[in-house]
A and B are shown apart, each in its own frame.
Chain A
Amino acid sequence: MIARILAGERELFHELIRPYERGLYVAAYSIVQHEADAEDIAQEAVIKAYKGLKHFRGDAKFSTWLMAITLNEARSRYRQTKGEQLDSLDDREEAQGDYTPSVLADWRYIPSELLERKELRQALQEAIAQLSPEYREVLIMRDVRGMSISETAAATGANEGLVRVRLFRARLTMQKLLAPQLAPKQRGLMGWLTRKAGGR
């Protein structure tokens, strides 16, 4: 399809990006945590991809290339607004920190249907927001977009080892933040939601 677009069937570019546009927004939002900015970043990334299409070499998937453009846009916007540098952690710093899960006596499965409840979606979003941007990126690529470790590495520009380390920490942090809220013995709204789902 890319060859046809470059040969003049430019309208096909709409179809080329359609399967990925939702993911671009989610990836951008995961970094900047701002709806309007995330939408603008997704639009900018798509336009950059269109303008730079002849530079796409095909040694990565188109979706990975498009995601890498989006992440670069989002990081740049993040730096502008927060004045912070992403990817400033080196491997030595990454080795620090205590990553242990929340230890529970039992777990009752939370069915995906409960995502109809705003409270559950909000709890997930708030937990993601507490991760550092580097960890949010890999979690979104791998666990939300379903990209492989190597695709995540290609899109984020980190090596696969670093992706695995960040992913481990992101996942464990999510468990630590969310499991105590969502565990069946928890009182309050989330406890009620999960008890309801479990028929208690």
Chain B
Amino acid sequence: MKIDCKHVWAQVSDYIDGSVTPEVREAIERHLAHCRYCSAVMDSTRNILVLLGDERTFEIPVNFGERLHSRLQETMDATEPGE
């Protein structure tokens, strides 16, 4: 199985998720071994997803947790769960 750059791009997401067939995975890896452009596409996409998944990317408002639990407590004091 031989695939070109456009086919690799179409599979970037599934490849990262590990949800392509072994045959497609092997074809992509053969292509990446000699195509610096597709390697850069794959590496940059994966790198951006790693950054996105880092806790530091999303700042939570100061004292968010305290306010949440305090408001929840007010409800809990007045209501049984499931009411």
Q: Does A11 contact B76, Cβ atoms closer than 8 Å?
A: yes
B71 contacts chain A at the CB level, 8 A cutoff:
yes
Contact with A along B7-32 (1 / 0, CB 8 A): 00110111011010000000000000
Say what secondary structure dominates the interface of chain B: helix
In the complex, whether A143 has a CB less than 8 A from a CB of chain B is: yes
Contact across chains for A103 and B37 when beta carbons are under 8 A apart: yes
Give the B interface residue count (CB, 8 A). Answer: 47
Chain A contact residues: helix, strand, loop or mixed: helix
Output the least CB separation between B78 and chain A (Å). 11
* Mask of A16-32 contacts with B, CB within 8 angstroms, 1/0: 01100110011001000
Confirm or deny: A35 has a beta carbon within 8 angstroms of a beta carbon on chain B. Answer: yes
Cross-chain contact B71 with A43 (CB below 8 angstroms) = yes
- Whole-angstrom distance between the alpha carbons of A74 and B51 in the complex? 24
Partner-B contacts on A (CB < 8 A): 5-6, 10-11, 13-14, 17-18, 21-22, 25-26, 29, 35, 39, 42-43, 46-47, 50-55, 100-107, 109-110, 112, 115-116, 120-121, 124-125, 128, 139, 143-144, 146, 149, 164, 167-168, 171-172, 174-175, 178-179, 182-183
